Amino acid sequence: MDDGVHEEPYNVGTLGIGDGIGRVLRNGTAIRLYSKNMNQPEKPTMVNDLIKSRDRVADHGEVFTPDWVVEDMLNLVKDESERIDSRFLEPACGAGNFLAPILQRKLSSATRKYQGREFDIECYSLLGLMCCYGIELLEDNVIECRSRLHSLFVSQLGLDSDSPTALAARAVLDTNIVHGDALSMKLANGQPIEFAEWGYVGKGRFQRRDFRFDVLVQASDFSAEGSLFAELGKQDVFVPIRSYPAMTIVEIGTSSVC
Ligand SMILES: C[S@@+](CC[C@H](N)C(=O)[O-])C[C@H]1O[C@@H](n2cnc3c(N)ncnc32)[C@H](O)[C@@H]1O
């Protein structure tokens, strides 16, 4: 029976993501070996879009995920990926190949849901951005990821780059896209990685509480079913290291706490 998978004899590498296995051909094209329940890519992905250099592949495993794989994976969690306040962490985010389409989905949801209410669209779009997190080892990727998400945000909302919401988005990205090591859970400067939990409290005001990443990871183990600590309430295990008074968009954009 033809299961829709076609072997290619000239492959020089494999892009393995669940069902969406693909092969890198000698001519520099990445093709997809697809199964019947997944969409075919509209056009082949070029290898140059997926790697920056052989050294970086060897040293850091830097092979970016093609758009079509990302879209298929996000469609597996479609409702969550479109929910404005669902939180996503891409732990080795590279240039944000997952975060950018996640942000795009959240922005589209905010625009659709608050159609004709510009202020609400800006606030809820900013909340969507606040729910996107990344960790990346290489500084140039960190800069590229932040800048890519910022460009997407301002262009989608039609903002001037020096508008209060654009400045707040910049501060949020500087906070949420972290230059560090997802395995040691430390920043490039050796300090523990911290993440800000943002929330919208209405009338253009946002709250923020900071948590240590290693504590969050441990806490999720503690609250796993059957663990000794499963009976503890969330307030016992998720203890912030810092809390801030509610902030306006202008205050977020100009604050030095980010
Ligand atoms: C395979 S690429 C994937 C990038 C992106 N997630 C994607 O799907 O396109 C892996 C990325 O992880 C980064 N990386 C490798 N080890 C890491 C670590 N311990 N912590 C954070 N980032 C890491 C690399 O610098 C590279 O940008």
Residue range 82-139, pLDDT digits in tens? 999 999 999 999 999 999 999 999 999 999 999 999 999 999 999 999 999 999 999 9
Domain's final residue, options 31, 64, 97:
64
Task: Please give the distance, rounded to the nearest whole angstrom, from the Cα atom of residue 60 to the centre of ligand 1.
Answer: 7
| pLDDT, greater one: 23 or 200 | 200
- List the domain range (segments joined by +) for residue 42: 1-64
- Whether residue 108 sits in one domain with residue 56: no
**Ligand 1 nearest-atom number relative to CA 181:** 20
- Whether residue 213 sits in one domain with residue 131: yes
- Whether residue 85 sits in one domain with residue 58: no
- Band (pLDDT 50/70/90 cuts) for residue 50 is confident
- Whether residue 201 sits in one domain with residue 85: yes
- Whether residue 215 sits in one domain with residue 144: yes
pLDDT in tens, 177-189: 999 999 999 999 9
- Band (pLDDT 50/70/90 cuts) for residue 41 is low
Domain's final residue, options 42, 64, 86:
64
Rg (CA), the chain: 20
Q: Measured at the alpha carbon of residue 142, what is the angle toward residues 137 and 144, in degrees to the nearest 5? A: 140
pLDDT over 90 percentage in the chain = 64
Is the residue at 69 inside a domain? no
- Whether residue 242 sits in one domain with residue 193: yes
Candidate of 138, 140, 217 to mutate for ligand 1, largest count of ligand atoms within 8 Å of Cβ? 138
**Ligand 1 nearest-atom number relative to CA 94:** 27
Task: Please give the distance, rounded to the nearest whole angstrom, from the Cα atom of residue 232 to the centre of ligand 1.
Answer: 34
- Whether residue 177 sits in one domain with residue 127: yes
Beta-ladder partners of 45: 30
- Whether residue 189 sits in one domain with residue 99: yes
- Whether residue 179 sits in one domain with residue 237: yes
The answer on pLDDT for 44 being more than 70 is no
- Whether residue 201 sits in one domain with residue 117: yes
Query: What's the total number of domains in the chain?
Result: 2
- Measured by CA distance, the residue closest to atom 12 of ligand 1 is 92
Is the residue at 137 inside a domain? yes
pLDDT in tens, 159-173: 999 999 999 999 999
- Whether residue 46 sits in one domain with residue 153: no
Candidate of 51, 60, 69, 183 to mutate for ligand 1, largest count of ligand atoms within 8 Å of Cβ? 60
pLDDT for the residue 230: 59
Residues flanking ligand 1, CB < 6 Å: 60-65, 90, 92-94, 97-98, 135-138, 141, 181-183
What is the value of pTM for the model shown? 0.81
Sort strands 186-187 and 177-181 into parallel, antiparallel or unpaired: antiparallel
Q: Measured at the alpha carbon of residue 34, what is the angle toward residues 32 and 38, in degrees to the nearest 5? A: 120
The answer on pLDDT for 77 being more than 80 is yes
* Torsion of the alpha carbons at 153, 158, 163 and 167, rounded to the nearest 10: 10
* Torsion of the alpha carbons at 118, 134, 50 and 54, rounded to the nearest 10: 150
Q: Which of 47-61, 70-84, 100-114 shows the lowest mean pLDDT across its residues?
A: 47-61
Task: Please give the distance, rounded to the nearest whole angstrom, from the Cα atom of residue 225 to the centre of ligand 1.
Answer: 30
Is the residue at 203 inside a domain? yes
